[in-house]
Amino acid sequence: MKKVMVLLALVAVLVPMVASAQSVKKSLGEYILVPGVPPVMSMPFHPAPATTPKYCKPCLFYSGDMDPNSSDNNGLFNADDSPLGIVAYVYAAFTVPKGKTWKITKLFINTLSNATAVDPTVTWDIRKGVTSGSGGTDVKTGTGKQSWAATGRSAFGYIEYTDLVTLKKAVSLKAGTYFLNVWTSCTTSSCNGDLFYESDEEHQPGLNQYPPGKKGEQPWDNSYFNSSSFGYTWYPTWGSSGACGDIGCDQFSDGAVGTSE
């Protein structure tokens, strides 16, 4: 039976959290009690300016913003969280257009978190050929200094941050579909109890996506969750039997910076 997690109850009081994978929700959307009713937030929602993020320049792609007001909004655990004993990875698909070669210099994801501190170094990974039950082939992985900045959005009582990493050396990708992950590391007591959920993206076209205005510009229903902590091995995130339990996770909020040739 798949393991699930406990975060904050949708009530006026906070439920104490315990540091174990068995008792921490893997998916934020499991708190949505009534479909169509937005989850309770700890603060009013203030949307960020309606533009592609300024840091995505030159922008290769941006899947789009999380929409806190969507009934399908969700977030899936994505971090190497040593104090909680949890390791979980979300791999979201992206496509390099036919006839193009991308040289990627930066990667980023948007993350819902209660973190007050994160490790200064972040890990990134690009893979191809990921399918249900298989991690495919690793194209390139590495570490780098991360930028951790609030987006201006919030949901489920968490603030959303952009976790952006600059690659030490540009990665060249030919046309095709790839899968990316950027995961925050929380390996010291300074971030004990902090939680990290990659933000969902539930619109086609995505809110403020880049390139703008094209439905299906990036893959839909093609993301995977890999976590021995929760008992998932390269498991689809979407659909009634997906890791998010049919609440969103059709796509995730992420992107890449670089040049196209």
The SS3 of residue 31 is: helix
Q: How distant is the alpha carbon of residue 14 from its chain centre?
A: 24
Tokens of 69: 């007001």
* 86-113 and 158-186 strand pairing: antiparallel
pLDDT at 208: 92
Closest alpha carbon to 122 in 75, 181, 178: 181
Q: In sequence order, which residues have a C-beta less than 8 Å from that of residue 63 and are 6 or more positions away?
A: 92, 94, 201, 206, 209, 218, 251, 252, 253, 254, 255
Distance in angstroms (rounded) separating the CA atoms of residues 98 and 173: 11
pLDDT at 125: 98
Q: In sequence order, which residues have a C-beta less than 8 Å from that of residue 193 and are 6 or more positions away?
A: 17, 19, 83, 84
* 79-81 and 158-186 strand pairing: parallel
- Give the chain's residues under pLDDT 50: 1-19, 32-50
Distance in angstroms (rounded) separating the CA atoms of residues 13 and 62: 36
92: amino acid identity, one letter = A
pTM beyond 0.95: the answer is: no
